[in-house]
Amino acid sequence: MIERLRLGFAEAIGTMILIVGGPGTAVLATGHFFPTGSVHVLGVALAFGLSLLVAAYAIGSISGCHINPAVTLGLWAIGKTKTRELPFYLVGQIVGGLVGGLVIYVIAKASSTSFSARATGFASNGYGVHSPGGFKLGAVMLAEVFFTAVFVFVIASTSRRSMPVGMTGVTVGLTLTVIHLISIPIDNTSVNPARSLATAVFQGSWALNQLWVFLIFPTVGGVLGAAAWRALRPASDEQTEDVSEAVAPAPYGRRPLPG
């Protein structure tokens, strides 16, 4: 039980880092506060990727640094996350995401300029009139399934025997960056239900009404991406199932990282 509590706490910290780094950049370094000096799409995409990279090296050896319910459920579906650990992953991710959203909200409200999470959108995910590019629901559903599947496919691939341990965080961080570069104009990029929840609760109106899309379709994509890796992986290149967790357990972390 103590080990599973440590796992959940690590996931909470990692998810908080991701939310403060990603949506935090979108809220505080674009739009309302910096309409002319915004970091724009490139800056926000890099913020998400770098935040994930930092979290991976910080907690990867403790929990694997899923920090995303779609990742956890995808890896669970192919047997790479234990059922008894599932609630600790998911609760940790949700709580950490909400704490990260609260940190952004408190900082933004403390500005000398008038700030409204409802009016600005608070970096929430959306479709239709709430999509940055005006993309309709069908396009957003497809994007979330596809890009989450790609993301989880890459994460699952880090379990292969030939994957250099120190490159795991870099690989997944760059993958998340590329995904954001492509899909921020579509729906502000979710690929992570905890990320979507963390901003929607503070936006409080349309984001909550559209939240179901960003809970369901990233999860579907995560399962599909993990299943695709399971089907395609070379058996000789997969980490053996009986390797000690202290040496090289689950994908995307749970093994010693440099530093």
Supply φ then ψ for residue 163, to 5 degrees: -75, 120
What is the per-residue pLDDT across 181-197, written as a single tens digit (0 to 9) for each?
Answer: 999 999 999 999 999 99
What's the full length of the chain, in residues? 259
Where in the sequence is the domain holding 30, given as residue range(s)? 2-237
Q: Does 91 reside within a domain? A: yes
Taking the C-alpha atoms of residue 169 and residue 163, their distance in angstroms, rounded to an integer, is 11
Give the orientation angle of helix 168-187 with respect to helix 137-157, to 10 degrees.
180
Q: Which pLDDT does position 259 carry in this prediction?
A: 30
Contact 38, 30 (CB under 8 A): yes
Per-residue model confidence as pLDDT tens for the chain (259 residues) = 888 899 999 999 999 999 999 999 999 999 888 877 889 999 999 999 999 999 999 999 899 999 999 999 999 999 889 999 999 999 999 999 999 999 999 999 998 889 999 999 999 999 999 999 999 999 999 999 999 999 999 999 887 777 777 788 899 999 999 999 999 999 999 999 999 999 999 999 999 999 999 999 999 999 999 999 999 887 666 554 433 333 333 444 444 333 3
Q: Which pLDDT does position 238 carry in this prediction?
A: 57
Q: Does 107 reside within a domain? A: yes
Instruction: Count how many domains the chain has.
Output: 1
Q: Does 200 reside within a domain? A: yes
Q: Which pLDDT does position 31 carry in this prediction?
A: 83
Q: Does 182 reside within a domain? A: yes
Q: Which pLDDT does position 236 carry in this prediction?
A: 65
Q: Does 49 reside within a domain? A: yes
pTM of model > 0.85: yes
The one-letter amino acid at 54: V
Secondary structure E strands in 38-86:
none
Supply φ then ψ for residue 238, to 5 degrees: -95, 145
Q: Which pLDDT does position 243 carry in this prediction?
A: 35
Query: For position 138, which CATH number holds?
Result: 1.20.1080.10
Taking the C-alpha atoms of residue 17 and residue 214, their distance in angstroms, rounded to an integer, is 20
Q: Does 103 reside within a domain? A: yes
Q: Does 258 reside within a domain? A: no
Q: Does 181 reside within a domain? A: yes
